[in-house]
Amino acid sequence: MRRIPIPTLCVFIILTVLLSDYSGVSDGLTKIGFPFVFMQDTGGKCNDCSALKWFNWLYLVVDILFSFGLYLMLITTYRFIKKYSGSKNH
């Protein structure tokens, strides 16, 4: 049970890096988070930038819990396949 946080964080980081939208540099919005966007920022010029920049702790926690669930699902599926893939010889 002690090894769960590190793989969960790895899944979280991989999902966040691959599935976030980083278009804030080119006058768009940078949206970070999967499945819920927990941070939004803009790098462009705007009249009311404070309305476009925000961070939501609850969505961050939900994203981490989602990553934990995904990690457990992947490990369970891997163990199931490993256990029953060699059972044809019975």
Q: Where are the domains of the chain?
A: 5-89
**Could you tell me if 14 and 34 are in contact, meaning their C-beta atoms sit under 8 angstroms apart?**
no
pLDDT at 90: 47
pLDDT per residue as tens digits for the range 8-61: 888 899 999 999 988 877 777 899 999 999 999 987 677 777 888 899 999 999
Q: Is the pLDDT confidence value at 89 over 60?
A: no
DSSP state of 29: E
Q: Is the pLDDT confidence value at 77 over 50?
A: yes
Which pTM does this prediction carry? 0.79
Distance from CA of residue 55 to its chain's centroid?
A: 15
